[in-house]
Amino acid sequence: QVHLVESGGGLMQPGDSLRLSCAASGLSFSRFTVAWFRQAPGKEREFVAAMFRSYGRAYYADSVKDRFTISKDNAKNTVFLQMNSLTPEDAAIYYCAADSTLILSSLRSAAAYDYWGQGTQVTVSS
């Protein structure tokens, strides 16, 4: 049985940095495309960042590019999202997702991912 468990969320101030983690059991991240999505109250779940399985290249939403970094530790079967220069617009529940068969053109679509974590809350407020 597959489980993805996010951690690291919290209450932050604008400009702060935060690192989220997603630990997996029941699958090996080394063979999966892994991604982070987020959902703010009243909004749809949106793509944040992903690392494609085939060659490990990272992709980012324009809103987080140059501030967020996705990385993966295959030995620990854990994915990270380093978030810098946080703004109130980054406040949301952040979800980790994984899939072994999605194609590159579907990378940014939540519907393409089979496995999801329960989410971790990130609040950014002064």
**Largest alpha-carbon pair distance within the chain?**
41
User: Whole-angstrom Cα distance, residue 119 to residue 6?
Assistant: 6
pLDDT at 79: 97
Q: Which residues, in sequence order, are CB contacts of 56 under 8 Å at separation 6+? A: 72
Query: What count of other Cβ atoms lies within 10 Å of the Cβ of residue 11?
Result: 12
Per residue in 81-122, pLDDT (tens digit) is: 999 999 999 999 999 999 999 999 999 999 999 999 999 999
Q: Is the pLDDT of residue 54 over 90?
A: no
State residue 111 phi and psi, 5-degree precision: -65, -20
Distance of CA 51 to the CA centre of its chain: 9
State residue 120 phi and psi, 5-degree precision: -135, 135
pLDDT at 12: 97
Q: What is the mean pLDDT of residues 76-81?
A: 96
pLDDT at 56: 79
